[in-house]
Each structure stands twice: as structure tokens, then as C-alpha cells.
């Protein structure tokens, strides 16, 4: 996956729902994204606090 520009095949990176997966799959997908963002924010805060405490001396 390139860092800049379009991917070679944008159709390959599309999120598809199969028949019968409607609302439940979308809800679970949103929950996974939200959980990832929360975990990332907590991890970033911990690393930032560690760096701050190391540089404070």
C-alpha cells in the first residue's frame, strides 16, 4: 500500500457486506474502529507521559 497517491486497485480495499450482514456487521465494524481509537489514545497518552517524565529531570 503506497503512502502517497492512490492504491493500484482501489476496489480491493473496499468494505463489503454479504447478504444478511446488514446492521449487525456495520455496528460491530464501528465498535472495532471505536475500540481501536480508544486503545490508541490511551497508548499514546502513556508513551507521552513516559517521555515527559524522562525529560523532566
pLDDT in tens, the chain (57 residues): 456 666 677 666 666 666 766 777 788 889 999 999 999 999 999 999 999 999 987
Contacts of 26 (CB under 8 A, 6+ apart): 17
Query: How far is residue 31's CA from residue 29's CA, in Å, rounded to a whole number?
Result: 5
pTM of the predicted model over 0.85: no
The pLDDT of residue 29 is 86
Amino acid at each position: 500500500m503506497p503512502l502517497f497517491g492512490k492504491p493500484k486497485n482501489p476496489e480491493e480495499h473496499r468494505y463489503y457486506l454479504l447478504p444478511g450482514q446488514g446492521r449487525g456487521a456495520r455496528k460491530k465494524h464501528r465498535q472495532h474502529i471505536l475500540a481501536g481509537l480508544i486503545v490508541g489514545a490511551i497508548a499514546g497518552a502513556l508513551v507521552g507521559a513516559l517521555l515527559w517524565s524522562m525529560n523532566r529531570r
